[in-house]
Amino acid sequence: MEIRTRRRRPHIPEIRVGKKEEEEQPLSPAARLFHAPEFSCNIISVVGLKNKIKPDVIVEGIKQTLIRHPRFSCKLVKSGNNKRQEQRWVQTNVVAEDHVVIPKIEMHNIENANADAFLDSYVSDLTTIPLDTSKPLWEVHLLDLRTSDAENVAILKIHHSVGDGMSLMSLVLACTRKTLNPHELPSLPNQKRALSGSRSYSRFLWLVMVLWSVVMLVLNTVCDALEFIATAMFLEDTETPIKGNFRLSTSKRMCCVHRTVSFDDLKLIKNAMNMTVNDVVLGVSQAGLSQYLKRRYGEQEEPMPKGIRLRAALLVNIRPATGIQELADIMAKGSKCTWGNWIGYIIFPFSIAFCDDPLEHLRRAKSIIDRKKNSFEALLTFIVGNFIIKSFGVQRAANILKRALSNTTMSFSNLVGPTEEISFYGHPVTYMAPSVYGHPHALTMHFQSYMNKMTISLTVDPTVISDPHRLCDDWEESLRSIKAAVQERSCTT
């Protein structure tokens, strides 16, 4: 999730990749963690295409771009024994065709809603099939399948040890071009920072404000650190119908679905409430979760408990995202740039309640996330995580993180996408729906903007949440009610 926090860049050696890097390179601490049995995480991105897929064109495009990135031409090699095992990336010759899967689909039996259900089932089945470690850890599935929102579908599956979500999304975008200008890379919206108003204050007052800000920063960080420690030790979320139990095993078939809504609606609410898109997404999600839990408790003929503790692990990118142009240069010229997994966590408490004013969900979410921004929580979890891995080993670090995440309810992330239509190797894109699985949560919500659309991707444990589409319905209904409340407020002012 793109959250601007007050953070300094950690003094941890950067992994820089380029065409002429060494043939062997050790895995970073985070990459080693993602290969632990408790955290064998993979990223899946479903890409809807406007036109019928031309496999030969896509394979040739992959040869010219993706496999020229060092991480996509390296395989994982393990050495040593069970007590002390070394894992390294080793350069290998890549045959693009070995990474492209084209399933045979009997289209005469699949139409409209059945095609959407088939796609959901196909993606869900991929969560049960591990990637082949004898070759680089990625694959592309090309489905000649017409769904309700795409003519054909491409699915990218990449092991999380290859890179963090933001870096991988930037890399995928570096393989695309603007549809109206096939020689131009996609453009992302400018991220405007709030300007400081210190010039309007006296020097003394400005100094007092700075000191107070530093004091609050330290206090918030200490409080967040203590909460994370407590969560790793004993502080559990309320047992609700959406909280899974991953203490014994994380090897489960996950169900992956998506829903696309109007990004313009989110921006309308953002502008009216003077918030960020992240604030709005969190607020609408809080309202949607409240509505969904109300229904689930009603179906069980149980009253919904008061004071529900329901927290999400928000994934935060620690470093500035690698530019699309930089990644394009890696694949075209063999230049270098920073790469790897640089993610931290923020524990975000959702306020599950029913509000007479739907806008109250937005205000509560904004209040919480504003306080979280004024903290080094994400940076601290990243640094401490790396320290534990290096000092005590991957297994102990995986156990600690698994326990901490198991005591929360869900994961949450949000990525910004291109503002104009792009083409994936000559195929115009209608939507992008990335998500991740393999971590100990029964619910992961991911949001991806693209042009005037926002795609919601849900990855759920079907034994816990058997009706993910109803959760999407509740999210969409909450967006409509909040939009109506904003418009009504505008008419009365």
State the catalytic residues: 160
Which DSSP letter does residue 299 get? H
Distance CA 265, CA 281 (A): 11
Q: Strand 74-80's sheet: what is its strand order?
A: 24-26, 85-91, 74-80
Burial string for 259-284 (b: 16+ CB within 10 Å, else e) reads: bbbebebbebbbebbebbbbbbbbbb
Taking alpha carbons only, the member of 294, 288, 340 closest to residue 312 is 288
Q: Which residue has the tokens 């960080």?
A: 221
Q: Which residue has the tokens 């290096």?
A: 390
SS3 447: strand
Calculate ∠ Cα 429-328-182, nearest 5°: 45
CA distance 94 to 278: 39
- 77: tokens are 């090699």
Helix (H) or strand (E) holding 395: helix 394-406
**CB contact at 8 A, 315 and 345:** yes
Radius of gyration of the chain (CA): 23
Closest CA to 284 of 263, 315, 313: 263
- Whole-number Å distance between alpha carbons of 248 and 158: 25
> Tokens at residue 247, please?
């203490």
Q: What's the token pair of residue 94?
A: 């890549």
Between CA 407 and CA 232 the distance in angstroms is 7
C-alpha dist (Å) from residue 123 to 38, 247, 282, 372:
21, 25, 26, 34
- CA triple 487-488-490, angle to 5 deg: 65
Q: Which residues contact 263 (CB under 8 A, 6 or more apart)?
A: 449, 450, 451, 452, 453, 454
Q: Environment class of residue 292 by beta-carbon count within 10 Å: exposed (0-12), middle (13-18) or buried (19+)? A: buried
Return d(Cα 25, Cα 76) in angstroms, integer: 10
Phi, psi of 340 (to 5 degrees): 130, -175
**How many CA atoms, within 13 angstroms, populate the side-chain half-sphere of residue 198?**
10
